[in-house]
Amino acid sequence: MQQPAEGAAKTAVRQAPPPGPAAPARPQGRSHPGNLPDVLFRATTLFFAGLVLLLILAIGTVLFAQAHLAFSHFGLKFLWTKEWDPVRESFGALPSIFGTLVSSFLAILIAVPVSLGIAIFLTEMAPPWLQRPVGLAVEMLAAVPSIIYGMWGLFSFAPIMARHVEPWLKHHLGFLPLFQGPPMGIGMMTAAIILAVMIIPFITSITRDVFALVPAMAKESAYGLGATTWEVVRNVVIPYTRTGIVGAIFLGLGRALGETMAVTFVIGNAHDISLSLLSPSNTISSTLANEFTEATSHLYVSSLIALGLILFLITTIILSVAKLLLWRIERQVVGSVR
């Protein structure tokens, strides 16, 4: 939707100087020459939009410049070296990259079904008097600062995991490599669950909003044909809102990738790679949060900034993939309509 509008705005700007009688014919993006507030308004908004681009570019440049030392020292093998030794100044990003990707992936795995469930319940099944309070409660979750999630995770949730959940998992599923090691309540699984709780409100509120956009006509028709609620959701609501759902998931993923404080509290901060979900791990952002203040040598600081650059790139790649996916879905939808 944005592209055509932007395009129109651009042409309008470009065509603004020569005043002509053709102008009134265009439905949008018109600007009367000499209409100063209008020109100013356009210039200001353009400036703000440009500022965002400039900011991203500046962040990328600074990260790149300051990570240069680390990459020239360790080479590309910085990406797949497992060691992180501040004393000997031997740094590798693999454990942090692994932890970042795995914790975010697990969080999405947990959060998506729950969020979709909440959204479907709120739009399709909940009695009106319940919709508002539950919806508000979900949105309140989004307003809780991440440090609170971290402290709650550390002081309340981790002990529950250590005493009840993890011993149970070990007892029943202990033969799997996923559930090895002592049940400490601190580690990948706890971090992923906390992350899931943190992103559920985002995914829920977006999907709820897009579900609400489904035309009542389409749903009523399906019900009229004798479809059950499940069939309506499965065959009408979800196909109609695919784009929005994918968008919501990627927004949640983006947030999970960068989440710092809450994860730092419960993930155990060990520069290790382990298959077990019970063992302590690390993420890029928690490594940064932990180690930046006391990093004195240039190589150390540069390696940390290189980690930041990697996170920046991971996020960029994932957002690009999301855009690509959305674009393909949109095309399919348009195709199917035709």
Partner 1 sequence: MIVRRMRELARWMAPLVLLGAAVPVGAQAHLMLHGGGATFPFPLYAQWSYEYARLTGERFNYQSIGSGAGIEQMRHHIFDFGASEAPLDADVLSRSGLIQFPMVIGGVVPVVNLPGIASAELKLTGPILADVFLGRITSWRDPRIMALNPHLRLPPLEISVVTRADGSGSTWLITRYLGEVSADWRLKVGNGPSVRWPVGMASKGNEGVSSYVKQTTGSIGYVEFTYARQNGLATVLLQNRAGGFPSPGRASFLAAAAKAEWSGPDRTPRGLTDQAGEDSWPIVGASFILIARDQPDGKRAEALLKYFDWCFRGGKRIVDELDYVPIPEPIVRRIEASWAAEIRSAGKPVWPLAYPAAKSGG
Which residues, 6+ apart, have CB-to-CB distance to 96 below 8 Å? 84, 271, 282, 283, 284, 287, 307
Task: By CB under 8 A, name the one of 291, 318, 322, 325 that touches partner 1.
Answer: 291
Q: Exactly one of 122, 154, 249, 253 binds partner 1 (CB under 8 A); which one?
A: 154
- By CB under 8 A, residue 195 contacts partner 1: no
Contact (Cβ atoms closer than 8 angstroms) between residue 67 and residue 308: yes
Closest approach, Cβ 103 to partner 1, in A, equals 15
Q: Tell me the residue type at 73.
A: H
Q: Give yes or no for residue 102 binding partner 1 (CB under 8 A).
A: no
Q: Is there a contact between 214 and 236 (Cβ–Cβ < 8 Å)?
A: yes
CB of 267 to partner 1, least distance (A): 9
Decide if residue 84 touches partner 1 (CB under 8 A): yes
- Tell me the closest approach of the beta carbon of residue 301 to partner 1, in angstroms: 8
Interior angle at CA 98, CA 94 and CA 101, nearest 5: 140
The minimum distance between CB 148 and partner 1, in angstroms, equals 15
- What is the CB neighbour count within 10 angstroms for residue 297? 10
Kindly state whether residue 192 participates in binding partner 1, applying the rule CB under 8 A: no
Q: Quick one: DSSP state of residue 295?
A: -
CB of 197 to partner 1, least distance (A): 19
Contacts with partner 1 by CB under 8 A: the residue count is 32
Question: For residues 205 and 287, which CB has a smaller minimum distance to partner 1 in the complex?
Answer: 287
Which region holds residue 185: left if phi is over 0, alpha if psi is between -120 and 50, else beta? Answer: left
155 binds partner 1, rule: CB under 8 A: yes
Beta strand residue intervals within 187-268, DSSP E: none
Residue 119 or 186 having the CB closest to partner 1: 186
24-83 residues near partner 1, rule: CB under 8 A? 83
- Token code pair at residue 100: 């970042």
Please tell me whether residue 185 binds partner 1 under the rule CB under 8 A.
yes
User: Closest distance between partner 1 and the C-beta of residue 159, in Å?
Assistant: 5
Inter-residue long-range contacts of 84-91, CB under 8 Å, 24+ positions, other chains counted: 84/271, 84/287, 86/291, 86/295, 86/300, 89/297, 89/299, 89/300, 91/299, 91/300, 91/303
The answer to whether residue 158 forms part of the interface with partner 1 (CB under 8 A) is yes
Binding residues (CB under 8 A) for partner 1: these are 83-88, 154-155, 158-159, 162, 182, 184-187, 264-265, 268-271, 280, 286, 289-296
